[in-house]
Structure 1
């Protein structure tokens, strides 16, 4: 009997390790974003500081472990067997949910997921118990700790509003003090700002956190509690003097020190608050097993007869397990690629400078932006113009250290990064010391959004996209709650009826899905790297423009070449499924061109003075590429629609003629791709010379179809499709040759410029 539960415990701890990996990958966004976005220090330094914070913070987690044991349900109402079902269902659901959000690059809340998974699994098991016993479903409130669950959920939701509001207020006044030209003000007010920041972090992270550490003497805790105000005042004085010394004598920017200390504090607060989300459940299961095992050895009580009331008592968590969990979290922090993907989302939404927007506008974002524009205009009309102008001067942005559009340009400055870290770490620490597991993701994200709004980072050009992103992320949080509840409830029901076999199958399915997700994510990263070639930070000279444009042309030509062949082949076989895939694949080509065109502004801004004239060439190249993609899009989508509408197959002669064109087009595109891959631009003349021959061949096929209509063709739909394919092929050839001619002219002029 015990062996079954030993196996379940092993599975739970294995799942916990996986949960730590996928959980930290999502929650790294909480404490890395501000330091990474501001580029205050190198990434390696940021990771070292964050790792230290996570390792130390793991020791602070013990007090929160009771959430998994008694925070959501009442253990005394469940038998040991049922408790294990709940815990197993929760861990499987949590891993799958968090990995899904990591894969799509959205930050979600590990706290919300674990709370609602515990709630969902407990509700499911409770309903099953009631169904097979009294049938009084109203008694479910006797099984669920509704007061504590409501407190946790309301605290999580309230933290969203509080974090956004406090972040916006603190950032607004910080910007009024420093302005964007903070280098001028830092020598005067930087010491006080540093003293205040360090004191706040010390008080909430260390002083308040001391009571969570078992080895701290009771006398020290009592002294700190009785002399808190005195300690805070002395700390402020000491830190202010120390900050002034750092500024005046060591010539170090105090904001960078605040960011490093804030990163450490926030990583510590994260580990102290969120470690329960990853290992709280398996530790609670282990403690449950020990309680039942002791009772079984004493009385022989069976798992389905032993109520777990003892689980509600105070049970200390072994420090060794906490440290081991901290080590796993640190390793994940260094090596997780998905963590960087989630981090990019928040940095993108809160960045000060312009750039490519990830999220598309929706009716909510448009409505909110329109509403606040009206409100802003009303407020502006009431405020005296002179006062408004003085405020505006404080928010006048300075020129960035790196040109706009460069990858190495900071997303926001050191002032905002400092505020993000200090405010978020304090809010999280307050909740941790109150033993209220609020969502660190919600807090850090909403603080970042509040500070970016107060910093006027959302202007008329970007607001609708940024608000759409925030709406999508918040919407994802609600989805997290619903899916976590439903998923854990479903898994609990499956395990309840299926037993150990169901557990084995669910764990196997989870492993397969996680591995598949990792493979798909790795493939996506490779594709994204290819698409980001045009956005390199060194794209500034004529020679680099030539190289970059060659890569873009080769990429698009290669895609068109494959798509043309696939479309002709699949149309000939009347293969609807493959034509549907081709039609969807066109969207990627169109997105690639659209992204290239969307970055024209940043491309032109990054050119050196001798290369500005090349911007017109770049724009025209993109225009020809867009024409080519539109032509292949027409060919692919019309072929798909023809087959999808169940029209007659093309005649054998028509398919044969199209295949003949495809062979010629394939040779043409292969030659062009080879030219741009190898930079053998002297061969362009030879390709252009074949232009008229290709166009004449297409014209001959058009005439052949006219003759067919006069003699044997009976399908108007076939005729419409066939003429459309030929005419778009003709346009495709024309656009391709025009692009080659333009590139040849530019390359020759570039050579002359370099020679002279």
Structure 2
């Protein structure tokens, strides 16, 4: 029995390592989005500062398992066996859920997830215990007040953070405008003093309050002298910054953002992630109590866990190292950060989220409200406000930077960090439950709205994105409690076998999400390969031509291969391979869609003297997109037909389709050769060949109509056959138009 529980403790610590990794991947958005989004320093410098903050925060933390200490459940009513089941259910659920959220780039609260997992698992175990013991009711096992406090904290933090972030950013932009470099000379020291004072206070109250090196007397002194600390800190930093600016042209905003990044990273590691190692440590403490009682009585009550669970210093150092390594290497962390940056960026571009009825309703209402306000506000005042929010000069600078352009400026980044620091510090000082993820994300969204980053071209998609993320937060709480509840029940009834099966299931889920991440990265890389290199913020015509030639050639090769594979797999009734081909076609379709959506940025950055060739580039990309679209309308119906177990074509129909497929692929190969060699002398011959093929398709269509007339072909198979013929014809038409546009593109470039 002792050996089994020792193995379970070992599994808990392995899960703790995994949980630290997925926790960092999720919460990296808290302290990275402002610095990376504003590009105040190189990526390596930002990561070094963030990693240092994470390591210091983890190493200095007192390591108290706050959630267990505050009591989501009452451990004195749970036996050792019950407690181990609760902790196993919590850790398994946490790893699975956080990894899923990270895979799809959605930031969520690690604190909320672990609280509700503890709640769900404890309820699952307590329910069975109360059924077996009529003297105890379910409410005696659970401390529901804590869960209610967390829920209220979520609602308040979401609303307050968004509102305060929006108001502060609006006032700040009114003061400094987008052309803030001039005004920084006069008000920069004052702004820097306020910002760094807020960050200093945040470090003391939130970052260092649980540090083991601080004595209780020092902590008490900080709390009792808070106002003096703020006042003296403000005076000190304001005077120092002004002197440094006069003497060395000190970059106030850059240092403010980097200092805020360090502070948030330190507080994050010191106060949030310690919860992940707290659960396994509580399990280890339970195991030690079990051993002290002889190692035979698994029904002893865990009253000792009602106190604090301390963490050994070496474990904190190891945890800090794991966090730092994850921060540097996690692709999922970068995806979560990217979601936040995409929703808050100043410029337009490809939107990750779609449109929704809720978002459209909000935008319509906002436009109507704005129009009503504009009628009341004096024209001069409105004009003055518009000048402060005029970002045209800033956008010109961004265009010159090309790919190195920031998502937003350093002024907004500093507002994000300062407001988040103040809100988190204030809530902590009042002992209110608060999620740092919710605060930092919603402040960033509020400031982006105030900065007019959500224009009419992007507002619907940005709002949909924010609503999706917020919905995910509440889904975290519900799903965490539900999954942990189910796992705890399975373990209670299934014992060691159920625990083993669930550990394997968790490992499988992490493996699957890793495969999804790898595939998404592959698709992103493929699209990146289609992007065009910039020189001094402009795109050279020869770069456009060369990249267009290689991109079109690669896409056409794939179209030819997928077209043949789709029809061959359909004939062989190979559902598995046809499904995979359908996915690959969708991916190809998605890539050409992105290429088409990026036309605006490409043409805008073309050199002035080569703008005429941009017309042909637009045509080439448009026809390429339509060609892949036609292929998608062939592959997808074929798979759906096979997936629904409908009858396939007759031998005559397959013979006709195979002949057509061979001729189509031959035509695509010849077209590709022309594009590769940029030699279009035989284009007319290829056009004639296309015309003959279209005549063949017309003949096949007539044959099929005769079969239908004689009732020799069913409805579904007839519709699929005709659909393949129709989309093949469309593909051929778009292909020749693509060749003609490419020929004109080459000719225009030579001129």
| Same topology, TM > 0.5 | yes
Aligned: 1:24 with 2:31: no
Which moves more between the two structures, 320-329 or 368-377?
368-377
Work out the number of aligned pairs and report it: 743
Q: CA deviation at 1:720?
A: 5.9
For 1:354, the equivalent position in structure 2 comes to 348
Q: Distance in 2 between matches of 1:724 and 1:208?
A: 63
Match of 1:185 in 2: 183
Partner of 1:429: 425
Partner of 1:302: 297
The verdict on how the C-alpha distance between 1:242 and 1:672 changes in structure 2, with shifts beyond 3 A counting, is farther
1:715 aligned residue: 712
Q: Give the secondary structure class of the aligned counterpart of 1:500.
A: helix
Find the aligned partners of 1:161 and 1:509 in 2 and give their Cα distance.
37
Contact kept? 2:2, 2:296, Cα under 8 Å: no
* Aligned residue in 1 for 2:498: 502
What CA distance in whole angstroms lies between the structure 1 residues aligned with 2:236 and 2:563? 72
Partner Cα distance (1:301, 1:571) in 2: 62
Partners of 2:572 and 2:317 in 1: CA distance? 61
TM-score (norm 1): 0.92
* Range with greater deviation from structure 2 (475-484 or 722-731): 722-731
- Of 232-241 and 401-410, deviating more is 401-410
Residue range with higher mean Cα deviation, 264-273 or 420-429: 420-429
Would you say 1:631 and 2:630 are equivalent positions?
Answer: yes
Q: Would you say the 8 A contact 1:70–1:311 is kept in 2?
A: no
1:387-398 equivalences under 5 Å are 387-397=381-391, 398=393
Shift in Å, 1:252: 2.9
Q: Distance in 2 between matches of 1:39 and 1:701?
A: 56
- Correspondence for 2:461: 465
State the secondary structure of the residue aligned to 1:355. coil
Hey, what's the Cα distance between the residues in 2 that align with 1:350 and 1:726?
45
Cα distance in 2 between the residues matched to 1:285 and 1:71: 15
Q: Equivalent residue for 1:115?
A: 115
SS in structure 1 of the partner of residue 371 of structure 2: helix
C-alpha separation in 2, matches of 1:721 and 1:514? 39
> CA 1:643–1:25 in structure 2 vs 1: closer, same or farther (change >3 Å)?
closer
Q: In 1, Cα distance between the equivalents of 2:387 and 2:542?
A: 41
- Work out the CA distance in 2 between the residues paired with 1:153 and 1:710: 67
Residue deviations 1:40-59, cap 9 Å, x none? 10000000110111112124
* Aligned-partner Cα distance in 2 for 1:228–1:585: 60
Q: Distance in 1 between matches of 2:594 and 2:659?
A: 34
Mapping for residues 126-141 of structure 1, pairs under 5 Å: 126-134=126-134, 139-141=137-139
Report matched runs for 1:669-684 at 5 Å: 669-673=668-672, 676=675, 679-682=676-679, 684=680
Contact 1:90–1:114 (8 Å) recurs in 2: yes
Deviations 1:293-315 (A, max 9, x none): 33x04xx77121x2112211234
Q: Note the C-alpha offset of 1:617.
A: 0.6
- 1:657-672 superposed matches below 5 A: 657-672=656-671
8 Å contact kept, 1:163–1:443: yes
Q: Which moved more, 1:456-465 or 1:623-632?
A: 623-632
Distance in 1 of aligned mates of 2:410 and 2:660: 59
Instruction: Give the distance between the partners of 1:636 and 1:687, measured in 2 at CA.
Output: 28
1:451-496 Cα deviation digits (max 9, x unpaired): 1111111111111110000011111111111110111111111111
The correspondence for 1:516, drawn from 505, 512, 515, is: 512
Q: Partners in 2 of 1:510 and 1:645 — Cα distance?
A: 32
Quote how far apart the aligned CAs of 1:263 are: 0.3
Instruction: Identify if the C-alpha distance between structure 1 residues 692 and 84 changes in structure 2 by more than 3 Å, giving closer, same or farther.
Output: same
Gaps of 5+ in 1: none
SS in 1 for 2:124: helix
The 2-side partners of 1:723 and 1:583 are apart by: 19
Aligned to 1:229: 227
Aligned in 2, Cα 1:227/1:720: closer, same or farther, shift over 3 Å?
closer
- Is it true that 1:450 corresponds to 2:446 in the alignment? yes
Asked if 2 retains the 8 angstrom alpha-carbon contact of 1:22 and 1:99, the reply is: yes
Return the offset for 1:161.
1.4
Aligned-pair distance for 1:232? 2.5
**1 CA distance for matches of 2:499 and 2:554?**
47
* Preserved CA contact (<8 Å) 2:195 2:256: yes
**Structure 2 unaligned residues grouped into runs of 5+:** none
How far apart are 1:426 and its partner, in Å? 2.9
How far does residue 669 in structure 1 lie from its aligned partner after superposition?
Answer: 2.6
> Residue 747 of structure 1 corresponds to which residue in structure 2?
746
The Cα offsets for residues 148-194 of structure 1, whole Å up to 9 and x where unpaired, read as 23223322331111211221122111112111111011111110111
Q: CA deviation at 1:643?
A: 6.0
1:576 Cα deviation from its structure 2 partner: 6.3
TM-score normalised by the chain length of structure 2: 0.93
Q: Give the equivalent residue in structure 1 for 2:318.
A: 324
CA displacement, residues 607-628 of structure 1 (integer Å, 9 cap, x when unaligned): 1212211221111112322332
Change in 2 beyond 3 A, CA 1:674/1:131: farther
Distance (whole Å) between structure 1 residues aligned to residue 493 and residue 128 of structure 2: 10
Query: d(CA) in 1 for partners of 2:264 and 2:417?
Result: 7
1:76-87 equivalences in 2 (<5 Å):
76-87=76-87
SS of corresponding position for 2:567 = helix
